[in-house]
Amino acid sequence: MVKKYFALILFVLVLFSVSVFAEDPSRLLSNSEDWKDVYSTIQYGIFNDKSADFLVSNRHATLILNQISTNDHIWAISSEEVPFIVGYQNLLQGRGYSSEEFTFENVNLGLGELLEDVTKFIILDDAYGYNAISVAPYAAVTKSYVLFADEDNINDVEDFLDERNVESLIIYGQVDREVKDSLAKYDPETINEEGDRFLNNIEIVKKYQEVANSKQAILTNGEFIEKELMSGSEPVVFIGTNNVPDVVRDYIAESDIEVGVLIGNELVGTATFIRRQLGISVFVKFAQGARNPEGAISQVEALDMFYLPVYNVNLEIESIRYNRATGKLEVTIRNIEDQASYFIGTYSLTAADGTRVTVGDVGANFIDGNELKTIVYDIDQLPEGSLSVDIFVIYGESPASLEKEIRKTLDVESVRVLDACEITINEITVNLRNKQFYVNVENIGSADCYVDMELVDLRIAGEKTTLGMEDVVKLKFGEDKSLRIKVADFEEEDVEDNERIKVRAYYGERETSLIKILEGNFDLLIKGIDFLFYGLLVVIVILLWLILFKRRKKPAQHVPHHTHQHVHEHKK
């Protein structure tokens, strides 16, 4: 408790020194390897009409000074734990700058405390860096300060907000259940369209346009901070890495946006598609003037960009087989990242005689992290001989965020395989204590089966998600098993939203080619008392009680014989 009050007093003293003794800056410099500190420093600068820059490396600490006048009074906003330069003020003063350095344990909350008049806030989880870029223009034009909150720091964020007159609060994107619960008292507006960053982005762009309608928009993918992205002069519209999601195309086509400014040249391909298909003008901002020019020819440098944590999605084609015994094309996709993804494939087969057949997906397929998934397509019998296939697969982190693509041509392997595997799903239960679902599956076919299982569109803390098993399970002929799917965030309050659950099973005789699908909707059963667990708990408690009882029961004190003799003689 003493430490807590001491820390509070120290924090107040820091704020007092900043507000009373510090000279008002003309420029801010973020000295931190943490992107949240960079973001918060730029926010603070925008709210106070101050220019704000950031370091991206140790070397950059001196290079950036070539574009800053020595007439500027600089505030160096430094991270206590991860600064690029320790004692940056000494370097600045050595270069002739009037400067002060302020070090914060939490820059986001520390600078927020200095913005005493701010009453509007946007809450998001720092695990999704692109969300911060998405809301930045709206935050700038509405003077809404962005706070980063998760289950670990929500108490600090709540204490911060409790001291403010909160006029409005937006929870943007996916956040932890604890964050939602703690902030419910502020009656927040929630923007989270099925956890999809493109849909969420469009919603915040619409809100921006209501406040400051702009004919121009910045085009980016939300993977880095660049000063113009946060200026608020135009909204930020997300475009995909290789593909423009349909929801983005539709919005741009229906909006008043006439000009797009692409930040960086990594997305030139998708920006070109937007220009050609949607008819808006696109300009590319990819460099800046050299800050340390050498020679007679004017040089350029790359833009200052601070890269954010990204949601990695990466799929590849594992195999493509045409099963002549069943007349089906078997396409196996491998997810080589930990994160789940969604994909839609189109496959155009060409036979040796020129016959061409195209098949594909109507909706998006789910594939869990580090998983193989085989999708099967019916095809009329093709002539014997060689087969090739033109592949076009778009994929991404959610069904509406299919921003990446696979384009290639491969030879198709011909096989003749019959699959006698058959299963049935009996029931689904949940154990709230160990956070696991159990799907009882029975092998009713004439061969051993391999089974993979998904729970489709679960509602957890109000958000829709699909979850799968960690590994494929083998079921012997006639065997039944309760297959486990772990759902760490599932709580008793979620049961009401999941009274019926859609279960989808992929199964087959070949472990790497689960070519059959079975799905259905089942009532969710609550697993009863775990008698084994509580029985063991009772036994342990009894044993501990016996041990303590024996220790407390002291034996009668034994007096040696010679001591009795000595006492007797003394009495004589």
The answer to whether residues 410 and 429 belong to one domain is: no
Q: Tell me what pLDDT residue 332 has.
A: 97
* DSSP string for residues in 399-445: TT---EEEEEEEEPEEE-------EEEEEEEEETTTTEEEEEEEE-S
Please tell me whether residues 457 and 367 are part of one structural domain: no
Residue with tokens 């290079």: 63
In a shared domain, residues 431 and 515:
yes
Which residue among 386, 415, 444 closes a domain?
415
Residues contacting 561, CB < 8 A, separation 6+: none
Q: Return mean pLDDT, the chain.
A: 88
- Tell me the C-alpha distance between 78 and 84, whole Å: 8
Name the residue range of residue 404's domain. 315-415
Residue 395 forms part of a structural domain: yes
Judgement on whether residues 427 and 374 belong to the same structural domain of the protein: no
User: What does the pLDDT read at residue 565?
Assistant: 40
Answer yes or no: is 514 within a domain: yes
pTM: 0.84
Number of domains the chain contains: 2
CATH of the domain at 361: 2.60.40.10
Decide which of 415, 435, 459 is a domain's last residue: 415
Q: What local confidence, expressed as pLDDT, does residue 265 receive?
A: 76
- Look at residue 230 and tell me if it is in a domain: no
> 325 and 410 share a domain?
yes
Segments in the chain below pLDDT 50: 1-17, 19-21, 296-298, 531, 556, 558-572
543 in a structural domain? no
Which pLDDT score is estimated for 566? 40
User: Could you tell me if 403 and 477 lie in one domain?
Assistant: no
The answer as to whether 463 is a domain residue is: yes
In sequence order, the 6+-apart residues with CB closer than 8 A to the CB of 486 are: 435, 436, 437, 470
The answer to whether residues 433 and 403 belong to one domain is no
Last residue of a domain, one of 372, 388, 415: 415
Tell me what pLDDT residue 109 has.
98
- Cβ atoms 61, 85 nearer than 8 A: yes
Specify whether 335 is located in the same domain as 411.
Answer: yes
Rounded CA-CA distance 144/201 in Å is: 16
Q: Which of 260, 254, 286, 285 is CA-nearest to residue 274? A: 260
Residue 245 lies in a domain: no
400 and 444 share one domain: no
The per-residue pLDDT for 569 is 41
Q: Does 445 fall in a domain?
A: yes
- The domain spanning residue 499 has which CATH number? 2.60.40.2550
Q: Are residues 349 and 390 located together in one domain of the fold?
A: yes
Give domain status of residue 56, yes or no. Answer: no
* pLDDT tens for each residue of 24-69: 899 999 999 999 999 999 999 999 999 999 999 999 999 999 989 9
Q: How far is CA 343 from each of CA 393, 465, 470, rounded to the nearest angstrom?
A: 7, 15, 19
Same domain, 445 and 408: no
Question: How far apart, in whole angstroms, are the C-alpha atoms of residue 256 and residue 235?
Answer: 12
One domain for residues 434 and 390? no
Q: What is the pLDDT of residues 206-244, one digit of tens each?
A: 999 999 999 999 999 999 999 999 999 999 999 988 889
